[in-house]
Structures are given as C-alpha cells and as structure tokens.
Structure 1
Amino acid sequence: MPYRVTLIATSALTVASSAPRWQRYRRACPSCGSKAAVPATTAFVLSLWTNLLTFPLAQSFLTGTEHEAALGDPGVLRALTGNATGLAVLSVLGRGALARSLPIATGTFIGLVM
C-alpha cells in the first residue's frame, strides 16, 4: 500500500471512531509504551553509569573540604539514582513519547525543566 493511502485510511479510522479519546489514542499508538521505555531505560543506565564513574573524580577535587563525601555516606547513592531517574523522565518528555503533539511535548518539557 502506498504511504498516502495508508495515512489517509489511518486518519479516517481515527476521526470516525466514537470511542473515548484515551481509547482512540491507545489504538492509534499501540507501541507508545515501548517508544517511551527504550529512551528512558537507555538514559537511566547511561546517566547512572556516568554518575558512578564521575563521582570519585569530583570528590578528588573536594578532598579536605566540608563538601567531601563518599559513596557509602547516607543519601549519596539515592542522590545519584535520583539524578539518573530525573534524566530518564526528561528524556521521555523531551522526545514527546507521552504527548502526540510536538508543541504540547515541548511546552511540558520546558515547563518541567524550568
């Protein structure tokens, strides 16, 4: 099937549907869960790895100061994991996986970052 015919058929099915909006969205985008999960997982793993790799380097500059910390100190691992989780959430919102409209996704992303 040519691209135009498929696109028109999909649009016609979506518009003609009398189902509630959330059900139409689910039918129109059945792979939205995986589209959101892949960048979130990738961002979480890479940022956690980067946090754990750079934390000792950053602490080497803070040795002997009041800001010195170790990985075993209370709250350090939670802060590093929270940083990775926040970046994963922002990566999903930045890609617009949760919103079908680019302006809505961009507005949400900027609002959360600010």
Structure 2
Amino acid sequence: MSVSNSILPDDKSKQQFSCFRASAEFIQIPHFTDGPDDYRLVHGNVATLSQDVPVNHAWIEEIDFVYELSEGHKILFSKDDYYKKNKIINVRTYTAQEAITLIGEYGHWGPWN
C-alpha cells in the first residue's frame, strides 16, 4: 500500500481526541501497512480518563509493546506495564487494513464501535 492509498478524513469529520488521530495516522504509514502484520491500532478505556464515553483512548501495539502517541508524545512502553499502570479495559484491536477501512467507512479517526 502506498501513501496515496492512505485514508484521511475530510475537514468535516467529527472532532476526536488527539490520540485517535495520531494512532490512526501512524498505522497508515507504509512501513506498517506493507510490512509484517505485527502492529495493531487499539481503542480502549484508560481508568484515569473520562468514563463518560464508551471508548476514551487509542494507541498502537506491536506484539508486547505499546506506542503512546497522544498530544505529540511518542513513548514506548511494555504492554504489561502500560495495561497495569493505566488500568486498561474494553479493548478493541484493528489491523492496519481494518483501521483504514473503518476510517473510510465512518469518515473519522475513531472510535468506531
């Protein structure tokens, strides 16, 4: 998949938390879409964030690692530490292709369901 095949919602897409956009853009980088299928876009709930929404955070996972990309951060965590520290629940994972498809279908960065 080339960069030209990446999906970018138009300006009319609904406003989302920065983590959803950052993670969705990251998963569309050709290295991740054309390379090994080890990367996942993940949506879930972080205990320290607002629980007024069904899904309140997004990040990237690569096997046993988490990439935290919100608010301009690019921080690497072990998956176990990240889940324990942030009390992660309600997890939904997407391959790069699934994420690209859902961005196109919904017209925004997520969450989708």
TM-score between both structures, scaled by the size of structure 1: 0.25
> Greater helix percent: which structure?
1
Structure possessing the higher radius of gyration over alpha carbons = 1
> Greater strand percent: which structure?
2
TM-score between both structures, scaled by the size of structure 2: 0.25
